[in-house]
Every structure is written in structure tokens, then in C-alpha cells.
């Protein structure tokens, strides 16, 4: 049965293996003999004791002296004593021995390294030192083990690069185990780890390494560099789009792998001169492959964004390497950083490619590229100005740095901001235009017009290559899709959701900034639609209220005035109509009344109205509670009695009407019973008056009941009223009465 390891387990194993490799390198570095001095090359090629470390057997007063040669002491083995003193050369301290060039010189370098390490291990050393123009010899012993604290920072930096290369490669493979591109990226990471870890060992040596250790590390370093090339070339033949037949993908491994085998296994370092040519050739092929990918994918925004990570990382990494290592050498100045530290720039390139392979935040690349590019340009400008002021005008370092900072702050930063605004000039709409467009969407007359305005709004804002209406669903949210290739917009009100594909006609992807802007504007549109809908509903509700009140009150009063015989009664009813009309229009939430006062007013009005048309009225309202009616109940009670009596006058042919008001447990019941001809409830359609009354009563939590027989019609309502110990004293229309 085949054992399965989860991606997390595989990644943990890769991390542990990388840490074990790093521990091994550190152990090897500490197993070298240690003099306790830091050596450097002077301006004339002499070897200088730059520093004497604490715990060293070399006297501290020799710091700054010239170290001319070293030789075995009398206590050494006969073979070593027979050797003459070894005069030190600048190449003895070289960081990268591959730069020596010819096989003969490299073999001589390895032999000298081996001779020095044998002298240091054999016993005390005789050092010839020149100090203040005088030469002298001293005998010192080297420690067998180098202290861990003495390991230089360059070793830790290169180990960090090596660990990152392997770990990041393993991480990418664990995330995309079936992606051949990810595996090629891991191959490149392993190559970077081999090159950097081997260089960490020999570039951080105090003085020398044994020939076996040095040659092994050098061969691993050169093999790792070419292995890095295998991974990178194969990766970009297949990423972001395969541009060669599948069989061709094996050519880099075969060709570069054959070159590695030929150089490493054929009497190393006999063909070491081919190494630099091979690396240059591989880099040229890699650059040609990248250019081919750019050309092939020039119309694919997503692929361009993936390649953008490469361009950004190469721009920062290679640009930083050139600025700190190459340009100073061209200006006959010492490099700003050592070559060992320059591995960090290549790590930037590697991590940038990792983000591209993983398609990490492709949609934010344009924003990040802008920021990183301009920060890099700012730093480069600062360095160039500082160097020009120091070496060109002869200013001291502190004033030169101050002037350079001032120039960058006054000139460069405003220019950067102006450039940013210019690049974004076609990506935004002014705030006043946004407000106007959102208002137009919310106030559109029809759903179709709203949708059209909504579509046009987002089209003008992002200029997508394609805009698609989405089916209505609560699952649709405003979010980026497909690495920023699309932006979905959630539905709002009656407006369907949208999908926008390829911003600015495919020129770029949607970014996180676009997403935040879309969410904010979508929320504004949704709020505007809700507020407009609430406004429309409020208007509709108010119109219905006015219509209902006009029917229930004004119509009944005008009908009473129409049937009134006496001019005085007619005038009174018309005045009451005008008063109610004013209250309906200007005071919809009129103050309520005490129950007894309202009943007394209605009794006089209703009895007078019915008797005017010859209908007898029996009114009973004894025992009503000391209650204060809220405006809605007051209005409902008034409308009920007016509508009921109006229907009796118009339709019932009744001779008498019984009206009774009673209260039990804060429930007010009002019943109107006539002796008219009645009607068949199942066949007669009720008018708006009764429908309005029933709806109003139910809204107040009450009940409405209507029944009719040939002997008459009975209508009743039941409403809750508030029993009060003391009724507020109010005047007309709710004006407080002064005591």
C-alpha cells in the first residue's frame, strides 16, 4: 500500500531538511582553526589585520598592522617545517574563487588554501608582521574550533537565502502539487539553496579552508547556479503559457545538466573557464524566454500581471544589485555591499517569481508596482545625489546627506504625487458626478431605467471589456474573481447584480482599491434606493390616509349638509367640513381627546344628522370610563360613526337607529344597529368606506364586525383605550389650557 503524506507534512519535512542543511554548514564553519583576527585587503593589495577579536592569541596592539606571511613553527611536523614561509596575496581572501579565471590559478589557489589550513592545524604559527615600517615575527597558536559568535553576518545572510529558496519552493509545490511549473520553481529553489549555502561556507572563512572542503563547496556552488538556470528556463518555457512543444521542455535539463556533468566530472577545475560562459548563456536563454512570454501574452491581462511580478522583482533585485555593486566599481569606488550580501537581491527575484506562480494578488500588482518603483527611484536618486555632492563638490557626508534629502523631499516627492494623479486621471469620476449619477439611479421612474443607469454608471467608472447581468441571488456579493480578472457587484433593490470583466478594456486587472471603491459606491447606491423607496412609500401612505379621511369624514359632512333643510344647520356642517379638512391636510397627527368629550361632540353631530332626514336615534353611552384617546383611536371612532350613519342615510331606508357605546376592561365597544332593509353580505360588494374602517381598526389591534338581515344591519367595532386617573386638560387642537 502506497503511503500518502499530506501537503503540510511534506512541507514540514522540507523545512526540517533545510534546517538540517543549515546546521551542517554552521557546524563545518565552526570546525575550522581560528586565529581570532579579521583580515582585509589594503589599497595596495597588502593584507591588513583590521581587527583582533576578544579571546584571540594575537596581541591586540597588532590591529592595523600588515600581515606579510605565515610559516609553521618548530613544533610542526617535519614535512611542514620543510616548507618555506607562505607570503599572503590578495587572492587568498577572495570571496568567490570562480572569479580567479584560469584552471591553473584556481588550482594554485586551492593548494595555497590547503597549505595554510595545514599550518594552522599543525601547531603554533610564525606570523611576519609589519607595523609602523618595522617588520617583526610573532608566534601564535590557533584555536581548533571557531566560536559561533565569530561567524560573520554574511554567512547568516547566505544561509537565509538558501533556506528561503528551498522552503519557498517546497511551499509552492505543496500548494500546487500537480503543477509542473511549481516543480520547476522548486528545482530553481534547490539550485539557489545549493549555490548560496556553499558560498556561505567558503566566503565566510577567516583565512583558509582545506582543499577538499573548498573544492567541494565550489563545485556545489557552480552546480547550484546552473541548476537554478534549469528551473528558471523550464519554468518560463511553460509559464504563464507554454510556448514550446511539450517535448522541448526537457531540453534545458538535458543541455544544462550535461554541461554540469562535463565541467564537474571531467578533472575539476580543468574546464572551470566554461562555467562563466555557461552561466552567461543560460541567462541569455532565460531572458529570451521571458521576452517571448511577454510577446505571446501581450493581449492577456492576467498573464501580463503574472509576468509583472517577474518584471517588478527583476527591476528591484537586479536594479539594487547594479546600484550597490556594479556602478560603484565602474566609478572606482568600493562596492556598497559585498558580493555575498548581493544574494539578497537574487532572493527578491526568486520570491517575486513565487508570487507570480501562485498568482498572489495579481490584481494589486499595478498599485504595488507604482509604489515600489517610485520608492526605489527615490532611494536611487538619494544615493546618486549624495555621492555627487560628496565626490563631485567635496561636501562632508552629513551636509551632503541633508542636502540630498531636502532635494528629494522638495522636488521628487511632489513630482511622484503629480505622476500618480496623472496615471489615475481616467480611473475615477469626480465626487459631484458620482453623487449626481447615484441620485439619478435612485430616482429613476422604472426598474428598467434604473438598471440601464446602473449599468452605465459602472461602465463609465471601470470601462470593462464586458458587462453581464447576473441572476438574482443572495449569494452574489461584491468581490474580486479569477485573480482580479472580474468584479462581481451584489444586487441592490430591484437592480440585478453585475459581473464586470477586464477593467479598462482589458488593459489591467481589478485591484483591491477598485474593490473597496465598488463596495463603498454599492453601499451608497443601496442606501439611496432604500431611502427613495421609503420616501415613495411614505407619500403613498399619506395619500391613502388623505383619501380615506376625505371619504370617511369630509364626504359624510358634505352629504349631511346636502340633506340639511335649515340654512343654519347647513352652514354649521360646512364649517365643520372646512375645519376637518384643515386638520386632515395640516395636522394629520392631531392631539387626541378625552373619551367623554369626544362622545359628547359626536352624539350631538350624529343625532342631528340622522334626525334631519327623519330617522329616530336611541343613543346609549352611560358608564364610559375616564379615558384619554390617542389621535388614531379618536379619528377611527369618529370615522366609524360618520361612515355608519352615512350608509344608513343613503342605503338602509331605516326608520330608527340604536347606537351604543360601552366599555369593559379597557375595551371600548361601539355598536350601530338599524331597522332597515339590510343586504346579502355574500352578494353585495362593500364600498371603500367599510374597507377603510376595517383596515384602520385592525391596524389598531381592534376588531370590526358587520352583519345584515332583512330586519336590519348591525355594525360594531372594539378598540383598546387607556384608562387614566387624570385626563390632561387641553384646549382646541391640543393647545394646553392655562389654569
Of residues 532, 644, 548, 556, the one with CA closest to residue 588: 548
- 319 shares its domain with 413: no
Domain end position, chosen among 393, 423, 453: 423
Residue 687 has pLDDT above 70, yes or no: no
Residue 450 has pLDDT above 50, yes or no: yes
- 140 shares its domain with 159: no
Domain end position, chosen among 490, 509, 530: 530
* Residue 157 confidence class, pLDDT cut points 50, 70, 90: confident
pLDDT for res 190: 92
- 314 shares its domain with 260: yes
Tens digit of each residue's pLDDT (9 = 90 or more) over 386-401: 767 766 666 776 777 7
Cα separation, 220 vs 608, whole angstroms: 117
Of residues 326, 317, 310, 325, the one with CA closest to residue 344: 317
Cα separation, 397 vs 516, whole angstroms: 45
Residue 11 has pLDDT above 50, yes or no: yes
Say if 587 falls within a structural domain: no
Rounded mean pLDDT, 475-494: 82
Q: In what order do the strands lie in the sheet with 466-469?
A: 466-469, 498-501, 486-489, 479-481
In 297-396, which residue ranges form alpha helices assigned H by DSSP? Answer: 301-321, 327-330, 343-357, 365-387
- 601 shares its domain with 704: yes
Rounded mean pLDDT, 411-433: 67
pLDDT for res 730: 43
Of residues 557, 730, 700, the one with CA closest to residue 636: 700
- 169 shares its domain with 193: yes
Residue of 407 and 193 predicted with greater confidence: 193
Say if 507 falls within a structural domain: yes
Of residues 726, 731, 732, the one with CA closest to residue 626: 726
Task: Give SS3 for 229.
Answer: helix
Neighbours of 587 (CB within 10 A): 12
Say if 45 falls within a structural domain: yes
What's the angle, vertex CA 678, arms to CA 674 and CA 681, rounded to 5? Answer: 125
- 175 shares its domain with 300: yes
Identify the CATH number of the domain in which residue 604 sits.
Answer: 3.30.565.10
Cα separation, 336 vs 591, whole angstroms: 86
Cα separation, 377 vs 319, whole angstroms: 10
pLDDT for res 671: 95
| Cβ atoms of residues 649 and 559 within 8 Å | yes
Identify the CATH number of the domain in which residue 318 sits.
Answer: 1.20.1070
Residue 528 has pLDDT above 80, yes or no: yes
Cα separation, 420 vs 407, whole angstroms: 19
H and E: helices and strands count for the chain: 23, 17
* Residue 379 confidence class, pLDDT cut points 50, 70, 90: low
- 450 shares its domain with 466: yes
- 618 shares its domain with 728: yes
pLDDT for res 364: 45
Cα separation, 738 vs 88, whole angstroms: 116
Lowest average pLDDT, out of 129-133, 228-232, 538-542, goes to 538-542
Residue of 687 and 122 predicted with greater confidence: 122
Rounded mean pLDDT, 711-737: 63
| Helix pair angle (343-357, 153-175), 10° resolution | 10
- Using a 10 angstrom Cβ sphere, with 0-12 exposed, 13-18 middle and 19 or more buried, the burial of residue 185 is buried
Rounded mean pLDDT, 397-413: 74
Cα separation, 284 vs 309, whole angstroms: 20
Say if 12 falls within a structural domain: no
Residue of 102 and 568 predicted with greater confidence: 102
Say if 565 falls within a structural domain: no
Domain end position, chosen among 307, 330, 358: 358
* Residue 256 confidence class, pLDDT cut points 50, 70, 90: very high
Neighbours of 641 (CB within 10 A): 24
Residue 739 has pLDDT above 60, yes or no: no
| Cβ atoms of residues 367 and 509 within 8 Å | no
What's the angle, vertex CA 178, arms to CA 175 and CA 182, rounded to 5? Answer: 60
- 439 shares its domain with 290: no
Cα separation, 96 vs 109, whole angstroms: 11
Query: 63 vs 69, 117, 136, 150, 204, CA distance in Å?
Result: 16, 22, 14, 17, 20
Of residues 638, 567, 632, the one with CA closest to residue 600: 638
pLDDT for res 537: 85
Lowest average pLDDT, out of 4-18, 136-150, 209-223, 344-358, goes to 344-358
Residue 586 has pLDDT above 60, yes or no: no
Lowest average pLDDT, out of 575-589, 617-631, 716-730, goes to 575-589
- 106 shares its domain with 167: no
The grid coordinates of residue 504 equal 479598462
pTM to 2 decimal places: 0.56
Say if 365 falls within a structural domain: no
Domain that holds residue 88: 37-144
Residue of 622 and 138 predicted with greater confidence: 138
pLDDT for res 610: 86
- 419 shares its domain with 435: no
Alpha-carbon dihedral sign for residues 55, 59, 64, 68: negative
Say if 569 falls within a structural domain: no
Rg of the chain on CA atoms, in Å = 48
Rounded mean pLDDT, 418-446: 74
Tens digit of each residue's pLDDT (9 = 90 or more) over 15-72: 898 899 999 999 999 999 999 999 988 878 899 999 999 888 899 889 999 999 998 8
Q: Which residues, other chains included, contact 145 with Cβ-Cβ below 8 Å and sequence gap of 6+?
A: 30, 31, 34
Residue 428 has pLDDT above 70, yes or no: no
Say if 286 falls within a structural domain: yes
Identify the CATH number of the domain in which residue 52 sits.
Answer: 2.30.42
Cα separation, 226 vs 253, whole angstroms: 10
Of residues 472, 439, 464, the one with CA closest to residue 454: 439
The grid coordinates of residue 426 equal 481616467
- 335 shares its domain with 265: yes
Domain tally, the chain: 5
Q: Identify the top-confidence range among 62-76, 77-91, 187-201, 315-329.
A: 187-201
Residue 735 has pLDDT above 70, yes or no: no
Residue 731 has pLDDT above 60, yes or no: no
Residue 638 has pLDDT above 60, yes or no: yes
Amino acid at each position: 500500500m502506497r503511503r500518502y503524506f499530506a501537503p503540510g507534512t511534506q512541507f514540514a519535512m522540507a523545512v526540517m531538511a533545510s534546517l538540517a542543511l543549515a546546521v551542517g554548514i554552521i557546524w563545518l564553519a565552526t570546525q575550522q582553526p581560528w586565529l581570532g583576527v579579521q583580515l582585509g585587503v589594503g589599497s595596495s593589495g597588502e593584507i591588513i589585520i583590521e581587527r583582533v577579536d576578544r579571546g584571540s592569541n594575537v596581541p591586540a596592539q597588532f590591529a592595523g598592522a600588515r600581515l606579510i606571511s605565515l610559516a609553521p613553527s618548530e613544533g610542526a611536523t617535519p614535512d611542514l617545517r620543510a616548507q618555506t614561509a607562505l607570503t599572503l596575496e590578495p587572492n587568498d581572501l577572495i570571496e568567490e574563487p570562480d572569479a580567479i579565471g584560469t584552471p591553473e590559478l584556481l588550482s594554485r589557489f586551492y593548494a595555497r588554501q590547503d597549505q595554510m589550513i595545514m599550518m594552522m592545524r599543525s601547531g603554533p604559527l610564525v606570523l611576519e608582521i609589519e607595523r609602523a615600517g618595522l617588520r617583526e615575527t610573532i608566534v601564535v597558536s590557533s584555536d581548533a574550533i571557531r566560536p559561533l559568535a565569530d561567524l560573520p553576518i554574511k554567512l547568516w545572510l547566505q544561509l537565509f537565502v538558501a533556506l528561503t529558496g528551498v522552503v519557498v519552493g517546497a511551499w509552492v509545490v505543496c500548494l500546487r502539487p500537480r503543477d509542473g511549473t511549481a516543480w520547476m520553481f522548486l528545482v530553481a529553489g534547490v539550485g539557489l539553496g545549493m549555490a548560496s549555502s556553499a558560498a556561505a561556507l567558503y566566503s565566510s572563512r577567516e583565512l583558509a579552508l582545506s582543499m577538499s572542503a573548498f573544492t567541494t563547496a565550489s563545485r556545489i556552488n557552480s552546480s547550484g547556479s546552473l541548476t537554478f538556470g534549469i528551473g528558471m528556463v523550464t519554468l518560463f518555457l511553460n509559464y504563464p503559457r507554454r510556448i514550446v512543444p511539450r517535448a522541448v521542455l526537457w531540453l534545458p535539463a538535458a543541455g544544462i545538466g550535461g554541461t554540469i556533468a562535463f565541467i564537474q566530472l571531467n578533472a575539476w577545475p580543468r574546464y572551470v573557464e566554461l562555467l562563466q560562459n555557461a552561466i552567461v548563456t543560460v541567462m541569455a536563454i532565460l531572458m529570451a524566454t521571458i521576452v517571448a512570454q511577454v510577446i505571446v501574452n501581450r493581449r492577456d491581462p492576467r498573464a501580463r500581471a503574472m509576468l509583472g511580478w517577474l518584471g517588478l522583482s527583476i527591476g528591484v533585485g537586479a536594479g539594487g544589485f547594479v546600484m550597490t555593486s556594479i556602478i560603484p566599481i565602474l566609478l572606482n569606488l568600493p562596492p556598497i555591499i559585498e558580493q555575498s550580501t548581493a544574494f539578497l537581491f537574487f532572493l527578491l527575484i526568486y520570491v517575486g517569481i513565487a508570487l507570480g506562480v501562485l498568482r498572489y494578488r495579481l490584481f494589486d500588482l499595478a498599485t504595488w508596482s507604482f509604489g515600489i518603483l517610485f520608492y526605489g527611484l527615490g532611494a536611487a536618486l538619494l544615493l546618486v545625489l549624495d555621492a555627487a555632492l560628496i565626490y563631485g563638490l567635496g561636501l562632508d557626508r552629513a551636509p551632503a546627506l541633508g542636502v540630498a534629502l531636502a532635494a528629494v523631499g522638495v522636488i521628487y516627492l511632489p513630482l511622484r504625487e503629480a505622476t500618480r494623479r496623472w496615471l489615475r486621471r481616467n480611473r475615477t469620476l469626480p465626487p459631484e458626478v458620482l453623487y449626481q449619477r447615484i441620485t439619478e439611479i435612485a430616482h429613476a421612474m422604472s426598474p428598467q431605467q434604473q438598471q440601464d443607469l446602473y449599468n452605465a454608471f459602472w461602465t463609465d467608472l471601470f470601462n470593462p471589456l464586458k458587462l453581464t447581468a447576473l441572476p438574482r441571488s443572495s449569494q452574489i456579493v461584491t468581490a474580486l474573481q479569477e485573480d482580479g480578472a472580474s468584479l462581481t457587484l451584489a444586487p441592490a433593490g430591484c437592480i440585478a447584480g453585475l459581473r464586470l470583466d477586464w477593467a479598462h478594456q482589458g488593459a489591467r486587472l481589478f485591484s483591491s482599491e477598485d474593490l473597496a471603491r465598488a463596495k463603498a459606491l454599492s453601499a451608497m447606491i443601496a442606501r439611496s434606493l432604500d431611502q427613495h423607496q421609503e420616501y415613495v412609500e411614505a407619500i403613498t401612505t399619506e395619500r391613502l390616509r388623505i383619501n380615506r379621511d376625505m371619504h370617511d369624514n369630509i364626504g359624510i359632512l358634505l352629504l349631511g349638509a346636502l340633506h340639511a333643510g335649515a340654512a343654519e344647520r347647513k352652514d354649521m356642517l360646512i364649517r365643520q367640513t372646512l375645519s376637518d379638512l384643515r386638520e386632515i391636510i395640516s395636522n394629520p397627527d392631531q392631539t387626541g381627546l378625552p373619551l367623554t368629550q369626544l362622545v359628547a361632540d359626536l352624539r350631538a353631530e350624529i343625532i342631528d344628522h340622522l334626525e334631519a332626514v327623519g330617522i329616530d336615534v336611541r343613543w346609549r353611552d352611560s358608564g364610559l370610563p375616564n379615558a384619554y384617546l390617542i389621535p388614531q383611536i379618536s379619528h377611527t371612532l369618529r370615522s366609524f360613526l360618520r361612515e355608519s350613519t352615512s350608509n344608513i342615510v343613503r342605503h338602509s331606508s331605516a326608520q330608527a337607529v340604536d347606537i351604543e357605546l360601552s366599555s369593559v376592561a379597557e375595551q371600548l365597544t361601539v355598536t350601530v344597529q338599524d331597522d332597515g332593509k339590510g343586504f346579502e353580505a355574500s352578494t353585495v360588494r362593500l364600498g371603500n368606506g367599510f374597507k377603510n374602517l376595517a383596515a384602520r381598526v385592525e391596524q389598531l389591534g381592534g376588531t370590526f364586525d358587520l352583519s345584515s338581515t332583512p330586519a336590519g344591519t348591525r355594525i360594531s367595532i372594539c378598540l383598546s383605550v387607556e384608562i387614566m386617573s387624570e385626563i390632561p386638560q387641553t384646549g382646541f387642537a391640543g393647545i394646553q389650557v392655562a389654569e
